[in-house]
């Protein structure tokens, strides 16, 4: 693998190029990508050209660059995320149809909650979650469930802080967070009013694959809405998703 003068591998440079894209930055010029990736302009342009040739990046008519559909295709093929999403989606649809509120599926990814799916409703409360977007573990209801069941080393790392306040009621005190996580493990759910936004309450439950927590299912409710009906619907959806994951039926039946 050809390394740059700094010793950085070609793959590391390619990842840096791809990593300049974000949920709020989906289209960029080649020069912007080079600058954000910290690469010399000629290197950035060469890598971008090759990635465009391979379909991993795409150029629009104004020559601006976006992530290619082929990247999406390759990333999803056979991925754990797709398997989870396929098992959970029909049951998330039931939750969404019943509650008419945002329903979402998240996994732990590099110390954050990464959202694999979000079903919305036109009349539902404000929601900052995006598919393929991330939220801090200590602030989102999904993140709290994932953190409660995470590897203890990760949990301690997060507890060391800093615990940034995202909403008016985000837990920012490590001792309070530690107690909240123990309570989530005990009760099997979390209700987090005002943790992300003042107007809403996130409610989340764990989703297990062969006994291990692999995801969180959540809904975002208006702040004062009752939690119990959402909890019943989420628990039912999690149990059904877990059963589908167990026999992998939705994946093999085409």
Under rule CB under 6 A, residue 103 binds ligand PHB: no
Measured from the CB atom, the residue of 142 and 241 that comes closer to ligand PHB is 142
Q: Where are the beta strands (DSSP E) in the chain?
A: 57-59, 65-67, 102-109, 112-119, 134-136, 190-193, 200-209, 212-222
**34 or 202: whose CB is closer to ligand PHB?**
202
User: How far apart, in whole angstroms, are the C-alpha atoms of residue 130 and residue 114?
Assistant: 9
- Selected binder of ligand PHB within 145, 218, 231, 234 (CB under 6 A): 218
Q: Which of 33, 137, 192, 234 binds ligand PHB (CB under 6 A)?
A: 192
Rounded to a whole number of angstroms, the distance between the first and last alpha carbons of the chain is 39
Are 226 and 203 contacting, i.e. CB atoms less than 8 angstroms apart? no
201 burial type by CB count under 10 A (0-12 exposed, 13-18 middle, 19+ buried):
buried
12 lies in the site for ligand PHB, by CB under 6 A: no
H or E element: which one contains 249?
helix 249-252
Q: Does 96 bind ligand PHB (CB under 6 A)?
A: no
Positions in 116-135 near ligand PHB (CB under 6 A): 127-129
Nearer to ligand PHB by C-beta: 30 or 166? 166
The reply to whether omega before 162 is within 30° of 0 (cis) is yes
Nearer to ligand PHB, 28 or 104 (CB): 104
- Asked if 200 is part of the footprint of ligand PHB (rule: CB under 6 A), the reply reads yes
The nearest distance, CB 87 to ligand PHB, in angstroms, is 20
- Out of 101, 112, 117, 197, the only residue in the binding site for ligand PHB (CB under 6 A) is 197
Question: Of all residues in this chain, which one has the CB nearest to ligand PHB in the complex?
Answer: 202
Instruction: Answer whether 56's CB lies under 8 Å from 93's CB.
Output: no
Contacts of 60 (CB under 8 A, 6+ apart): 27, 66
Binding window for ligand PHB (CB under 6 A); candidates: 148-156, 194-202, 222-230, 231-239: 194-202
In the complex, which residues of this chain contact ligand PHB (CB under 6 A)?
A: 127-129, 140-142, 192, 195-197, 200, 202, 218, 220
């Amino acid at each position: 693998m050809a390394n740059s003068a700094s010793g950085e591998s070609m793959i590391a440079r390619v990842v840096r190029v791809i990593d300049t894209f974000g949920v709020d930055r989906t289209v960029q010029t080649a020069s912007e990508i080079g600058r954000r990736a910290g690469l010399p302009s000629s290197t950035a342009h060469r890598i971008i050209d090759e990635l465009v040739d391979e379909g991993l990046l795409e150029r629009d008519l104004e020559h601006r660059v976006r992530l290619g559909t082929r990247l999406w295709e390759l990333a999803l093929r056979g991925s754990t995320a797709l398997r989870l999403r396929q098992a959970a989606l029909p049951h998330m649809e039931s939750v969404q149809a019943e509650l008419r509120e945002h329903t979402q599926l998240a996994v732990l990814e590099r110390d954050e909650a990464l959202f694999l799916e979000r079903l919305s409703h036109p009349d539902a409360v404000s929601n900052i979650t995006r598919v393929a977007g991330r939220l801090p573990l200590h602030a989102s209801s999904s993140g709290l469930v994932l953190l409660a069941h995470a590897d203890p080393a990760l949990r301690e790392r997060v507890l060391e802080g800093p615990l940034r306040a995202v909403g008016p009621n985000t837990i920012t005190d490590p001792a309070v967070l530690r107690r909240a996580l123990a309570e989530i493990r005990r009760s099997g759910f979390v209700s987090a009013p005002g943790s992300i936004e003042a107007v809403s309450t996130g409610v989340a439950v764990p989703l297990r694959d062969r006994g291990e927590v692999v995801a969180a299912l959540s809904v975002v409710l208006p702040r004062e809405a009752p939690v119990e009906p959402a909890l019943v619907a989420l628990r039912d959806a999690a149990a059904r998703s877990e059963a589908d994951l167990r026999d992998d039926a939705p994946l093999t039946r085409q």
